[in-house]
A and B are shown apart, each in its own frame.
Chain A
Amino acid sequence: MKEVESRLKEEVKKILDEVAYVVGYQEGLTPLSARPLFIRNPKEVDRLVYNDFCAPNLANYVKKSDQKIGIDQKVGLIVKGCDCRSVVQLLQEGILKRENLILIGVPCRGMISFKKIEKLFDPLETYLAEVRDKKLKVHLAQGEESYHLEDVVFEKCLWCETREPLVVDIMIQGPLSLELEQKEKDFDIVELEQKEPAELFDFWTAQFEKCIRCYACRNACPLCYCQDNCLADTRQPHWLGQQTDALNNFMYHMIRAMHVVGRCTGCQECERVCPVDIPISKIFRKTSMITQQLFDYIPGMKVEDVPPLLTFKKDEKF
């Protein structure tokens, strides 16, 4: 991955004159985290990193910005396979302009999930971390430890079908797989479907009781772009109460589900950012399964596709 990182730096330097800035990654709080970096000049390229901890979906930043980058300002964006689907979806919906984007594709062999790690050891007490020989190796205060990658990468990475970005201007070649044992796509949803409705309701009620309505799931979602005009906040019409209780929180998440259905590309940023560990992506993955079946459509795959809920065909059956 070091090689990928150095080639990426070269490519970013080449396009800096053409764009307002390039959105990439820099080191985060721990050796197991990365955070967004906005590169404006060649000096800032030095801070750019690319490794197995670059989980955030940067596609979110091209739409939600004070500067409207990617809309009326040209911008460079570093995309992994899954993130690129968000860009494709935003292009389909006419939210971004292709000519205002320089997409730099990076190879992804599965990203390490911070939430999974937290359950295994304290990331704050980690001094070094790297993926080597199909293991995550970390230096902790008590010495070196290694973990099976299957246990520490995001679940979505274990069923990923788009490791290579579908639409790019520049592609940095590199390792695309660690040959991990794959999991059946959305196996956890299939498990949930086995529950009785009452049991399912109890499951979600318990989850939504934890919700603090910080709206991080909404704000981190590249496709939730009713920026500053979300009906979760509006008082007129009064769709949902401001009370933070299971019922109103339920309503908030259901409204979001209805707005993202048939558009969600499954990047799972909503779940990654949740401060109280609600498995929110299950809702979106379940609704996506339904729309995929109904309309034979997978979001974020081809720029020319028209999202089924954004159009109407005369021969559609009701």
Chain B
Amino acid sequence: MTLKFLPSERLQDLLEELSRNRKLIVPAKSEAMILFQDFGEDVHLDLANLSRLSAKEAAFPQTETLLSFGYEKETESSEPNKVALQCEPKEKETIVFGLRPCDARAHLLLDKVYLDDRYPDPYYGARRGNLTLISLTCARPQKTCFCTSVGGSPSDREGSDILLTQIEGGFLAEGVSEKGKNIIALNLFQNSTQENEEQAEAVKKRAAESLTLALDLNGIEKRLMDNFENELWSELSAPCLNCGICTYVCPTCHCFNITDEQRGLSGQRIRTWDSCMYPLFTLETSGHNPRSLKLQRFRQRFNHKFSYYPSLYGEFLCVGCGRCILSCPAGIDIREVLKESPMHRGAPRRMKIGLFSREHLER
């Protein structure tokens, strides 16, 4: 591990340096929310608050062209008899700066699906190979955060190329990957002192200690399967609007749709985000839909994250960022679905229905 120190007053220089000939994406304030935006002059960097959407678009954009096509006709009146295809994945080097460690780690979970040895996805692969992730220790986890329950931590290095930790007068920079080490070798970085390192350790410790919630997810994979038909799903899904918010703000949801968007004789085959909440998600050509009910679609999301994906890849498909909890218009809380958890200081205000916790099922 290489350690360096970046003084606060060199941050702007670093961002300008990183944006040269590359695409640089930073969390920035836009009206009342934080969104990842292209770095530029009128961008208001905000490293303190959680962004409304995750950083997954850098590797997995909501809309991408897989190929372009054009039909050709011999004469004006003849039927098109030839089709020309064009497919050039062009990817610019991209850096995401200031994302949270949970968001960085999410990329490793997406990699398992898209960079699988058997079916590597060339489009995702091209972008991912050109992507550098510079994350920032999450100094003040929110009440909706639960990264430590799903295998992460506020200062997790997994998935990051560099991990920054904000300390007095600047940032301690840890070069995690080769790519990251090359960046912190820039002159803008200074050698770190023992004091810098101790301060960073203290920030990390405080952040980890502030996360008091610990979901017991031991055996959840099997418990979900054992309770596939449990009536609780009907109760839990009742308030769900079946919109796509939870899946679209999620840094790990990765389902997509492919459509041909054609106008006249030419068009594009595009890939767009899809959501298991949508009725068309599993609608078959025959008209049959194995998940025709809201309950089934709702259940799928939790089963995929905490049972199907873990059975294939040995990890949960969730990094505990809490965005789905924050943005759900119906107040559905993923933690509550998995287990009760008191949210408030003093008497617990909510989470009164015991759900898929062992305690509940034993009752």
Q: Which of B63, B239, B241, B346 has the most CB of A within 10 A?
A: B241
A28 in contact (CB, < 8 A): yes
B350 proximity list for chain A (CB < 8 A):
26-29
A127 in contact (CB, < 8 A): yes
Interface locus among B116-124, B184-192, B301-309, B323-331 = B323-331
- CB < 8 Å neighbour of B52 from A38, A56, A272, A275: A275
List which A260-293 residues lie within 8 A (CB) of chain B: 272-273, 275-277
B333 in contact (CB, < 8 A): yes
Interface locus among B73-81, B153-161, B243-251 = B243-251
- Chain B: interface size category: 35 or more
List which A113-132 residues lie within 8 A (CB) of chain B: 115, 118-119, 124-125, 127
- CB < 8 Å neighbour of A38 from B144, B238, B278, B292: B238
Can you give 22 contacting A-B residue pairs, CB < 8 Å? A27-B350, A29-B350, A31-B344, A35-B332, A56-B330, A60-B241, A66-B234, A115-B32, A118-B32, A119-B32, A127-B346, A212-B62, A216-B241, A216-B245, A216-B329, A233-B278, A243-B261, A273-B245, A275-B53, A275-B249, A275-B327, A276-B35
State the CA gap A228–B234 with chains docked (Å).
Answer: 19
- CB < 8 Å neighbour of B242 from A29, A31, A219, A245: A219
List which B232-273 residues lie within 8 A (CB) of chain A: 234-235, 238-239, 241-245, 248-249, 257, 259, 261, 270, 272-273
List which A92-148 residues lie within 8 A (CB) of chain B: 115, 118-119, 124-125, 127
B352 in contact (CB, < 8 A): yes
State the CA gap A37–B273 with chains docked (Å).
Answer: 30
Question: Nearest 8 pairs between A and B by C-beta?
Answer: A35-B331, A273-B329, A216-B243, A214-B244, A228-B279, A36-B239, A219-B241, A219-B243
Q: Which of B261, B273, B329 has the most CB of A within 10 A?
A: B329
On whether the beta carbons of B261 and A241 are closer than 8 Å, the reply is yes
B52 CB, min distance to chain A CBs, angstroms: 6
Which B positions have Cβ atoms within 8 angstroms of A?
31-33, 35, 52-53, 62-63, 142-144, 234-235, 238-239, 241-245, 248-249, 257, 259, 261, 270, 272-273, 275, 278-280, 292-295, 325-327, 329-333, 343-346, 349-350, 352
Query: Which residue on A lies nearest to B298, using beta carbons?
Result: A66
A60 CB, min distance to chain B CBs, angstroms: 7
State the CA gap A212–B56 with chains docked (Å).
Answer: 13
B67 CB, min distance to chain A CBs, angstroms: 14
A14 in contact (CB, < 8 A): no
On whether the beta carbons of B239 and A38 are closer than 8 Å, the reply is yes
State the CA gap A226–B235 with chains docked (Å).
Answer: 24
- CB < 8 Å neighbour of B244 from A28, A124, A216, A228: A216
On whether the beta carbons of A277 and B32 are closer than 8 Å, the reply is yes
State the CA gap A51–B242 with chains docked (Å).
Answer: 26
A13 in contact (CB, < 8 A): no
On whether the beta carbons of A273 and B352 are closer than 8 Å, the reply is no
Q: Mark A207-250, 1 if CB is under 8 A from B, else 0.
A: 00010111110111000000110000101000001111100000
